Amino acid sequence: MADTNKNERHVYDANLDSHSDLQRFFEGDNLVVATRFFRNAALFEQLRSMVIPNLLNSGLQGRGTLHIWSAGCSDGRESYSLAMAARNSLDDLGYQGVAVRVRGSDLSRLQIEMARKGVYRISTSDWSTLDPYRQNFEELGATIWQIASNIKGLVEFVVEDIIEAQMDAKFDILICSLVLLYYQPQYQREIIQQLVKAVRPEGFFHVAPVGRRWLKSQGFEPLPGSSLFFTGRTMEILA
């Protein structure tokens, strides 16, 4: 997206004229980087019950590695949740031999530093969601937990502006959740067109919040039965 005039990249309620303004905006505001483990329960449910089985049907085992990109990952909780869910799901289905690699990227250096540490405060109420994955955490203090090395080793983090990322079509799954809402609609669409080039033809993506009708108008197909995942494939191939 080299030709894009960066002055057109205004996020709502902020007057940003340059790339460093944009970076400062996301580094300086706790609200815009807010995240949680397994934030969208339906997304993780559909990942397990539809996306991974579909990828296995289209030859994932032969490829040997499930590649996931968590774009705009904030402090890493989304990326680690994806790694835990994918590993757990493949193991449950008997595919221990298929590796999982998650790439977490964010514009904010501070968030990526936290992500690389993988140390989080986890409250008692958070454990209701996290309990099935307790073995993936090591206790450091009263409410302080570290991501266990078996999961940490599956995830790499990079400081990167999704707008400038030029990725090969190598990802089986792309998640870009609650990132684009800060950008003007016409700019969101331009970013999505760029982002989905990183998804393999057999792969699936979730970008939110973006209208299903618009995605369909661009030729993307919803994964049958899924309210959240899309693909570039046609329904006939998926059937």
Largest pairwise CA distance in the chain: 53
Cβ closer to ligand SAM: 211 or 224? 211
Region binding ligand SAM by CB under 6 A among candidate stretches 33-41, 87-95, 124-132, 198-206: 33-41
Under a CB-based contact definition with an 8 Å cutoff, are residues 104 and 73 in contact? Answer: yes
Min separation Cβ 129 and ligand SAM, Å: 13
Which phi-psi region, left, alpha or beta, contains residue 76 (left: φ > 0; alpha: ψ -120 to 50)?
A: left
- What is the dihedral angle through the alpha carbons of 108, 156, 226, 89, rounded to the nearest 10 degrees? -140
Q: Does 173 bind ligand SAM (CB under 6 A)?
A: no
- Residue from the set 46, 58, 89, 111 that interacts with ligand SAM by CB under 6 A: 111
Q: Does 74 bind ligand SAM (CB under 6 A)?
A: yes
Q: Does 119 bind ligand SAM (CB under 6 A)?
A: no
- Residue from the set 51, 52, 107, 210 that interacts with ligand SAM by CB under 6 A: 107
Under a CB-based contact definition with an 8 Å cutoff, are residues 80 and 117 in contact? Answer: no
Please name the helix (run of DSSP H) or strand (run of DSSP E) that holds residue 182, with its range, or none.
Answer: none
- Residue from the set 85, 163, 167, 173 that interacts with ligand SAM by CB under 6 A: 163
Q: What's the burial of 1, exposed, middle or buried (CB within 10 Å: 0-12/13-18/19+)?
A: middle
Region binding ligand SAM by CB under 6 A among candidate stretches 72-80, 87-95, 147-155, 192-200: 72-80
**Which residues of the shown chain bind ligand SAM in the complex (CB under 6 A)?**
26, 32-35, 39, 72-74, 78, 106-108, 111, 161-163, 177-179, 182
